[in-house]
Structure 1
Amino acid sequence: MSKRYSCHKISEGKAQAEAIKTHDRIMFYQVRPEDGVMEEKDHELVGRSIAQKVLLFPGGKGSSVVQQDGLYHLDRFHNMPAALIVQDPDPVLVAGAIIMEIPMVDRLPQEFYDAVKDGDQILVNADEGYVEVL
């Protein structure tokens, strides 16, 4: 049985994919573009791929240059996340999501973050303002 949560659209679009979540901020420059695997030492997702997944994370870190460059290279290799669910969006992340046309949302209830597990199928519909755990 699916459960729907309302959210706030940051970057338009729709995507459905497997969830991957982290409590650590992400610097996309530290994600290997060839396969989407996190390379940052001591990161909760080190060794795991974010490619084609709905990424739940607190926010970004690092300068605008490294964030945009990291996203650009992930896009070049078709290993961008399917959608971004962020708790603390910053202008760099927002600009990157819009430019790269990745659906991005925020303002989901804590209940959503507590309920979602890695591997859950998630539908992000930024256009209509909801996220659904399928």
Structure 2
Amino acid sequence: MITKGRGIARGSATGNLLISDAPISFLSGVDPETGTIIEDGHPLKGESIAGRIFAFPHGKGSTVGSYVIYALARNGRAPAAIINEEAEPIIATGAIIAGIPMIDHLDLPLSDLPDGASVSVDADAGTVSWEG
């Protein structure tokens, strides 16, 4: 299966998909040392985003979130790629400076993606693909 979207930060990656139906703040929402979601009340609290394709509606919170995404990459704990419903400047800037492929505006809702499955993101081509 392949779905199209809009490439935001260049590159490609493959990994297991982790989907959130809730936005996330990287500042105080994700531990930059471990890649674990620590935001109180977030439905994925305790999950690691490290090395995974992380799909969520959009970011929220402080512009320092961009630096947290960069710190995740520097610490080897960043997501392999990011998929958003709607990219916003905080997440897009973080993905670009951290070298994390990012895509948004998919042809289908995030909830239709195969949570937990291995997916490939090609932000240069604007595609997300998986078997099945």
Q: TM-score, normalised by structure 1?
A: 0.90
- Give the whole-Å Cα distance in 2 for the aligned partners of 1:12 and 1:93: 14
Q: Which has the higher helix share?
A: 1
Cα distance in 2 between the residues matched to 1:34 and 1:64: 19
Aligned pairs for 1:1-134 within 5 A? 3-29=1-27, 30-65=29-64, 67-110=65-108, 113-134=110-131
Give the distance between the partners of 1:107 and 1:88, measured in 2 at CA: 6
Aligned length: 130
Asked if the contact 2:70/2:95 (under 8 Å) is kept, the reply is: no
Q: Distance in 2 between matches of 1:93 and 1:123?
A: 20
Alignment partners' CA distance in 2, 1:55 and 1:69: 17
| Unaligned runs of at least 5 residues, structure 1 | none
Tell me, in whole angstroms, the C-alpha distance in 1 between the residues paired with 2:36 and 2:101. Answer: 20
Q: Is the 8 A contact 2:2 2:127 kept in 1?
A: yes
Shift of 1:34: 2.4
TM-fit CA distance, 1:110: 2.5
The percentage of counterpart residues that share the same residue type is: 36
Q: Which secondary structure does the structure 2 equivalent of 1:36 belong to?
A: coil
Q: Give, as a single letter, the amino acid of the residue that structure 2 aligns with 1:123.
A: S
Partner amino acid for 1:92? Answer: I
SS at match of 1:38: coil
**Which 4+ runs in 1 deviate beyond 3 A?**
none
Give 5+ residue unaligned stretches, structure 2: none
Q: Secondary structure at the match of 2:94?
A: helix
